Chains A and B, each alone.
Chain A
Amino acid sequence: MAVIPKFVGERIKRREDPRLVSGQGIYVDDVRLPGMLSAVLLRSPYAHAKLNSIDVSKARALRGVVAVLSGNDLKDKMGSLPCVAPADHVPFHPVLAQGKVRYVGEGVAVAVATDSYLAQDAIDLIEIDYDPLDAVVDPEKALAPGAPIIHDEFGTNSVTFAQVPNPAVDEAMRKADKIIKFRIANQRLAPVPMEARGVVAKWEAGYKQLTIWSSTQIPHLLRSQLAEMLKLGENKVRVIAPEVGGGFGCKLNVYAEEALTAYLAMTLGRPVKWIERRRENMSGTTHGRDQITYLEVAAQKDGTVLAMKGRFICDMGAYLHLLTPAIPGFSGLMMTGCYKIPALAFEQQMVFTNKMATDAYRGAGRPEACYIAERTMEMVAAEFGLDPADVRRKNFIAKETFPATTAAGLVYDSGDYNLTLDKALAAIDYKKVRAEQAQALKQGRYIGIGIASYVEICGLGPSALLPPKLKGGGWESATVRIEPDSKVTVLTGVSPHGQGQETTFAQLVADALGIDIDDISVVHGDTAMVQYGIGTFGSRGTTVGGPALMITVAKLQDKMKKIASTMMEVPPDQLTFVNRTIAMVSDASKSIPLQQVVDAAYGYKQPIPGVDPGLDETSFYEPSACTFPFGTHVAVVEVDPETGVVKFLRYVAIDDCGKIISPLLVEGQIHGGIAQGIAQALYEEVVYDENGQLITASLMDYAVPKAHMLPHYELESTVTPSPVNILGVKGVGEAGTIGSTPCVVNAVLDALKPLGIHELDMPLKPEKVWRAIQEARKA
Chain B
Amino acid sequence: MQLTITINGQRHSDDVEPRMLLVHYLRDVAQLTGTHVGCETSLCGACTVLMNGSAIKSCTTLAVQADGCQITTIEGLAKDGKMHPLQEGFWEEHGLQCGYCTPGMIMTATDLLSRNPSPTEAQIREALEGNLCRCTGYQHIIKAIQYAAEKMRSAKSA
Contacts and interface: CB of A to CB of B under 8 A. Distances in A.
A699 B132 contact: yes
A509 to B, nearest CB: 21
Interface string B92-128: 1010111111110010000000000000011011101
A707 B141 contact: yes
Contacts of A246: 97-98, 100, 134-135
A17 B90 contact: yes
Interface in A557-580: none
Given A30-B33, A698-B39, A672 B125 contact: no
Interface stretch (B41-49, B63-71, B150-158): B41-49
A248 B97 CA distance: 12
Interface in A178-226: 192-196
B87 interface: yes
B129 A14 contact: no
Nearest to A31: B33
A159 B19 CA distance: 46
Contact of A668 (B20, B39, B140): B140
Contacts of A498: 97-99, 135
A244 interface: yes
Contacts of B37: 29, 275
A267 interface: no
A105 to B, nearest CB: 16
Interface in B2-53: 17, 19-20, 27, 32-41, 43-44, 46
Contact of B96 (A20, A195, A667, A713): A20
Nearest to B88: A21
A665 to B, nearest CB: 7
B43 to A, nearest CB: 4
Nearest to A500: B97
A707 B124 contact: yes
B97 A707 contact: no
A23 B17 contact: no
Contact of A699 (B34, B43, B137): B43
B20 to A, nearest CB: 8
Nearest to A16: B99
A194 B101 contact: yes
A27 B100 contact: yes
Nearest to A740: B137
B125 A708 contact: yes
Interface string A492-504: 0000011110000
B151 to A, nearest CB: 14
B133 interface: yes
Contacts of B137: 671-676, 710, 713, 736
A672 B135 contact: yes
Interface residues on A, range: 35 or more
A131 to B, nearest CB: 31
Interface residues of B, number: 56
Contact of A712 (B73, B94, B139): B139
B82 to A, nearest CB: 11
A71 interface: no
Contacts of A243: 98-100
Contacts of B83: 18, 21-22
Nearest to A282: B39
A192 B27 CA distance: 23
A273 to B, nearest CB: 11
Interface string A62-101: 0000000000000000000000000000000000000000
A754 B30 CA distance: 61
A737 to B, nearest CB: 10
A698 B140 contact: no
A667 B139 CA distance: 10
Nearest to B130: A706
A194 B139 contact: no
A194 B134 CA distance: 6
A667 B106 CA distance: 21
Contacts of A162: none
Interface string A82-124: 0000000000000000000000000000000000010000000
Contacts of A497: 98
29 contacts: A14-B94, A17-B91, A17-B99, A21-B83, A21-B87, A21-B96, A23-B32, A23-B34, A23-B75, A27-B36, A29-B27, A29-B36, A193-B100, A194-B46, A194-B100, A195-B98, A243-B99, A243-B100, A245-B98, A245-B100, A246-B100, A246-B135, A278-B40, A668-B94, A675-B136, A698-B43, A699-B44, A706-B132, A707-B131
Interface of A: 13-14, 16-18, 20-27, 29-30, 117, 192-196, 243-246, 248, 275, 277-279, 497-500, 664-665, 667-668, 671-676, 698-700, 704, 706-708, 710, 712-713, 736
Interface of B: 17, 19-20, 27, 32-41, 43-44, 46, 73-75, 77-78, 83, 87, 90-92, 94, 96-103, 106, 121-122, 124-126, 128-129, 131-142
